[in-house]
Amino acid sequence: MDFTLSDEQLAIQQVSRDFAENVIKPRAFAMDASGEFPLDIIQQMGALGLLGLPIPEQYGGAGADFLAYCVALEEIARGDASVAITMEAHTSLGATPFLLFGTDEQKKTYLEPLASGQKLWAFGLTEPQAGSDSGGTQTHAELADGEWVINGSKMFITNAGTSMTAGVTVTAVTGVKSNGRKEITNLIVPTGAEGYVIGPPLKKMGWKASDTRPLSFDNCKVPQENVLGSVGGGFKQFMQTLDAGRVAIAALCVGLAQACLDESLKYSHERSQFGKPLHDFQLIQAKLADMATEIELSRLMYYKAAWLHMQGRDFTKEASMAKLFASETSKRAADQAVQIHGGYGFMDDYPVSRYFRNVKVNEIGEGTSEVQRILIAKQLLQSLR
């Protein structure tokens, strides 16, 4: 077993770390306070190739492997959560489905500007009435005169409304299958399509500078060829998309947890009580040790899930496990980081108070912790049948 990252992975990690430290982190406080989408930072990341890491060069990407992308995401998340989720939603949910399921034509039209970082793309699965229960999707589309006519609404969609967003992939019911189940199809809806209404940005507890919107489709029309992959292939496509997305989210969580540890180490060194720095107290040392141990474990879990994925092996269970454990690790790390900071940790001026607000959603987005446990148990129980 070899845990050494390749020269390329290491170089990508280093540049991402430097960029996060020098460009992103100094802006994190202000981004959180204003909630303004950091267009200039995202554009710089696009130019550096950070928005198309795992996409092959022939489609405008950097041609790095999936682990390199995750490792970069961890570093970016260490700098700021909003920037990291923008990168993740764009890469894993926006761009990758075009690579996996798109036609050559679609790859040329849509994937290239996404992978080269000129445009962002969103993925719209969640609906007001269908969250964990994605089978409950109500948005529907019918073919009429060579066009899809889409009606319905979506909720909490990341990256849908920025000034560099080119469009959204929308999950819609397009009919009924022979087994009586809903036929689900992914449709490509460019920003500006007739009847596609992008709602105002939602006000959030954390991830404030990321773009999260409700969407509505009111007789929205797109050409018949705007089907991603095949009609009826939608359910399988988003399950596959979410599997890899969960590994990336795990990496993002590790970055956030690492930032909590970084700040805790620094503060426990600077702050003295009872004539000693905080880190001389064993109760504080235990917190630091637990944090570091869980972070290490979470990192190994996402490395392994990414490795399985790169080997072309089944990684559904490991992806869920990594996402579940890393998201809960980040929550515990932020909780303990605030604790180590005492009253100062409760103040907006200290980054850990922002970290505390940013980690909660890790247990909700791309499948809640409950859903991850359901998925893991399902895999376990399969072996009994």
Partner 1 sequence: MKIVVCMKETPSTEVKKELGTDMRLVRNPQDAIINPFDEYTIEEGLRLQEKHGGEVVILTMSPAQTTDNIRKAMAMGADRAVVVADPSLAGSDALATGRVLAAALQKIGFDIVLFGQGTADSNGGVVPSITAEYLQLPLLSLATKLTIDGETAVIERSAEVGYVKVEAKLPLVVSVSKSINQPRYPSMKGIMSAKKKPLETLTLADLGLAANQAGSAAAHDKVLAAESVSTQRKREIFVGNDGAAQRIFDFLSDNKII
Ligand X SMILES: Cc1cc2nc3c(=O)[nH]c(=O)nc-3n(C[C@H](O)[C@H](O)[C@H](O)COP(=O)(O)OP(=O)(O)OC[C@H]3O[C@@H](n4cnc5c(N)ncnc54)[C@H](O)[C@@H]3O)c2cc1C
- Where do contacts with ligand X occur on this chain (CB under 6 A)? 89, 93, 122-126, 131-132, 156-158, 204, 207, 212, 361, 364-368, 370-371
d(CA 366, CA 371): 9
Q: Is 345 in the site for partner 1 (CB under 8 A)?
A: no
Name the nearest CA neighbour of 174 among 106, 236, 234: 234
**Which entry of ligand X, partner 1, none binds 256, CB below 5 to 8 A by partner kind?**
none
Q: Is 64 in the site for partner 1 (CB under 8 A)?
A: yes
Stretch that binds partner 1, among 10-18, 189-197, 313-321, 349-357 (CB under 8 A): 10-18
- Catalytic residue among 75, 127, 328, 366, which? 366
CB of 132 to ligand X, least distance (A): 3
60, 115 Cβ separation under 8 angstroms: yes
Q: Which is nearer to ligand X, 127 or 318 (CB)?
A: 127
Contact indicator for 162, 200 with CB cutoff of 8 Å: no
Q: Which residue among 49, 94, 351, 365 contacts partner 1 (CB under 8 A)?
A: 49
Of 24, 53, 85, 130, the residue at the interface with partner 1 (CB under 8 A) is 53
**Closest C-alpha to 285, from 309, 270, 265:** 265
CB of 128 to ligand X, least distance (A): 8
DSSP structure string for 339-385: HHHGGGGGSTTSHHHHHHHHHGGGGTTTS-HHHHHHHHHHHHHHTT-
Identify whether 366 is a catalytic site residue: yes
Residue 131 interacts with, from partner 1, ligand X, none (CB under 5-8 Å by kind): ligand X
Closest separation between CB of residue 102 and ligand X, Å? 18
> Structure tokens of 276?
């000693």
Which of ligand X, partner 1, none sits in contact with 11, Cβ below 5 to 8 A by type?
partner 1
Give yes or no for residue 99 binding partner 1 (CB under 8 A).
Answer: no
CA distance 303 to 353: 28
Query: Based on CB atoms, which residue is closest to partner 1, 40 or 218?
Result: 40
Whole-number Cα distances in Å, 330 to 35, 116, 164, 249: 22, 31, 30, 11
d(CA 278, CA 227): 58
Among the listed residues 143, 126, 162, 152, the one whose alpha carbon sits nearest the alpha carbon of residue 222: 143
Residue nearest to ligand X (CB): 131
The residues assigned a catalytic role are 366
Give the footprint of partner 1 on this chain (CB under 8 A).
7-8, 11-12, 15, 18-19, 47-50, 52-53, 57, 62-64
